[in-house]
């Protein structure tokens, strides 16, 4: 697993800056004041830069870099614009400006007593993510051939109160590790991240204090999860459901998180076009997010009861594969006509959602899935689509998304859309066609939510694999669709 960059915290000591190697980043506030103790030659160069048109164009959270600055052994001096009154988003953006340049050298950050230094550290860690496990060393590339932690970057935060900042940054470090775990899962190729390998990685989180159990195909058949099992009929890798529990909230009913985990999606018999199919390795993004959240909860020893359930399948064409026209019975007992085998994620979620409610009687249910290409048409790659039967719950989620700088937009649910998934042969069909595709998918899922059960469905197809890098992540799979 990729690990966030190691960050240590120490008291500010500028006397030795001249001999520090690697990179040095300095936070610059409204007054453009430089820290005391900088070598005279460095101060002169920095002051000239701060008086330049280039610096005046830098907004809060941005940076200006000076290569091989006079007076320092460091290869770069990075001036980071971050006023004392900066918000969380600006602080994380500033950290990301440092994290994007980490490489494999030592980085020193002069954070002084900035109130958002912990958020700066989180942004730095998140943007410093790389997934290069399948990159081979090039001849003569010493750094690439170096193994172990010595080849990794290290960051030292110089600050007024190292112990206080270290404590404050602990929560963010747990978040970063959970995010990295999710990103690794989503970036893994499907010949590595099979349903079995995925389940094994989740079982390994028992060492963090999570309760983890894996339900195999025989157990799923006994439970009546025929909708989920139908998706994996054409695959050599067995379908599974993994249940992760974190019990830190006493006797209260748990929050249930449910994730779609299609480790690869060809579309099945309704096969997808070849172009772009390689991106379907990330069709388990919802399950990846649930797994990352559960990891973070355990690392933070969260005072909450949360159960995470993921349905792990592979959707392949084969002589045994599910066909358009087949009719299956869900765990709930409702029958479903399969009109498109590429609308498979909702079949997985239908059974897992019903199982989560029946077994755990949760206080609320939130499911996450790279469910529809239609949500990308509606919202692009900047917002996830939220669908809900509970106004307070969805408003709380939207508020949390806004606070974290995550794009989310509520989409409608209405009985009129239900008609699009009605069929004469069964209780429902698994696709309503192109019109309102993300809405009819949500309407389908809602049929597997009990009356009065608070529920939110989050379609993350557009945000799981944006076309380019984001402020806090390099280009690549980050959290997309079927």
Percent of the chain predicted with pLDDT > 70: 95
Mean pLDDT of 459-474: 91
Render pLDDT for 218-234 as a digit per residue (tens, 0 to 9). 999 999 999 999 999 99
Mean pLDDT of 365-385: 97
Render pLDDT for 321-351 as a digit per residue (tens, 0 to 9). 999 999 999 999 999 999 999 999 999 999 9
Pick the CATH number of 6-169 from 3.40.220.10, 3.40.50.720, 1.10.3720.10, 3.40.50.300: 3.40.220.10
The Cα 54–Cα 449 span in angstroms is 55
**DSSP per position, 125-136:** HHHT----TTPP
Render pLDDT for 277-295 as a digit per residue (tens, 0 to 9). 999 999 999 999 999 999 9
What tokens does 216 get? Answer: 């195999």
Closest listed residue to residue 34, CA positions, set 72, 90, 88: 72
Mean pLDDT of 367-382: 97
Catalogue the active-site residues: 272, 346
What tokens does 55 get? Answer: 């610096």
Domain locations along the chain: 6-169, 188-464
| Model pLDDT, residue 254 | 98
The Cα 63–Cα 100 span in angstroms is 11
Mean pLDDT computed over every residue of the chain: 94
| Model pLDDT, residue 104 | 85
Q: Which CATH class is domain 188-464?
A: alpha beta
* 3-class secondary structure, 176: helix
| Model pLDDT, residue 155 | 97
Render pLDDT for 53-109 as a digit per residue (tens, 0 to 9). 999 999 999 999 999 999 999 999 999 999 999 999 999 999 999 999 998 889 999
């Amino acid at each position: 697993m990729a690990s966030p960059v190691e960050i240590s915290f120490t008291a500010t000591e500028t006397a030795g800056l001249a001999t520090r190697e690697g990179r040095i980043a300095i936070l610059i506030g409204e007054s453009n004041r430089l820290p005391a103790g900088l070598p005279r030659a460095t101060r002169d160069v920095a002051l000239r830069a701060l008086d330049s048109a280039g610096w005046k164009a830098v907004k809060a959270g941005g940076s200006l870099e000076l290569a091989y600055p006079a007076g320092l052994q460091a290869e770069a001096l990075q001036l980071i614009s971050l006023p004392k009154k900066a918000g969380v988003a600006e602080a994380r953006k500033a950290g990301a400006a440092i994290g994007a340049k980490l490489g494999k050298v030592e980085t020193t950050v002069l954070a002084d007593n900035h109130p958002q230094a912990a958020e700066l550290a989180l942004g730095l860690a998140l943007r410093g993510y790389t997934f290069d496990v399948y990159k081979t060393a090039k001849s003569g590339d010493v750094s690439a051939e170096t193994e172990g932690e010595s080849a990794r970057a290290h960051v030292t935060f110089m600050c007024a109160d190292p112990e206080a900042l270290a404590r404050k940054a602990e929560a963010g470090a747990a978040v970063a590790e959970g995010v990295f775990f999710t990103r690794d899962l989503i970036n893994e190729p499907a010949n590595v991240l099979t349903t079995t390998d995925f389940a094994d990685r989740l079982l390994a989180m028992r060492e963090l204090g999570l309760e983890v159990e894996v339900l195999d195909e025989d157990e799923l058949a006994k439970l009546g999860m025929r909708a989920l099992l139908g998706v994996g009929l054409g695959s050599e890798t067995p379908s599974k459901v993994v249940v992760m529990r974190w019990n830190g909230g006493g006797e209260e009913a748990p929050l249930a998180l449910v994730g779609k985990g299609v480790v690869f999606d060809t579309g099945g018999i309704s096969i997808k076009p070849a172009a772009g199919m390689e991106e379907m390795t990330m069709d388990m993004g919802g399950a990846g997010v649930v797994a990352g959240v559960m990891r973070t909860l355990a690392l933070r020893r969260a005072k909450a009861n949360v159960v995470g359930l993921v349905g792990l399948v592979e959707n392949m064409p084969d002589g045994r594969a599910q066909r358009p026209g087949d009719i299956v019975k869900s765990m709930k007992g409702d029958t479903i006509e399969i009109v498109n085998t590429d609308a498979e994620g909702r079949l997985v979620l239908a059974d897992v959602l019903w199982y989560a409610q029946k077994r755990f009687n949760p206080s609320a249910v939130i499911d996450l899935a790279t469910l529809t290409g239609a949500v990308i048409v509606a919202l692009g790659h900047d917002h996830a689509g939220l669908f809900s039967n509970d106004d307070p719950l969805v408003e709380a989620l939207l508020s949390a998304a806004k606070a974290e700088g995550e794009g989310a937009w509520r989409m409608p649910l209405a009985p009129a859309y239900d008609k699009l998934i009605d069929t004469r042969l069964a209780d429902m069909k698994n696709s309503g066609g192109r019109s309102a595709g993300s809405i009819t998918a949500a309407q389908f899922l809602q049929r597997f939510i009990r009356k009065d059960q608070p529920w939110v469905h989050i379609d993350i197809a557009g945000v799981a694999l944006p076309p380019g890098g984001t402020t806090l992540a390099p280009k690549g799979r980050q959290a997309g669709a079927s």
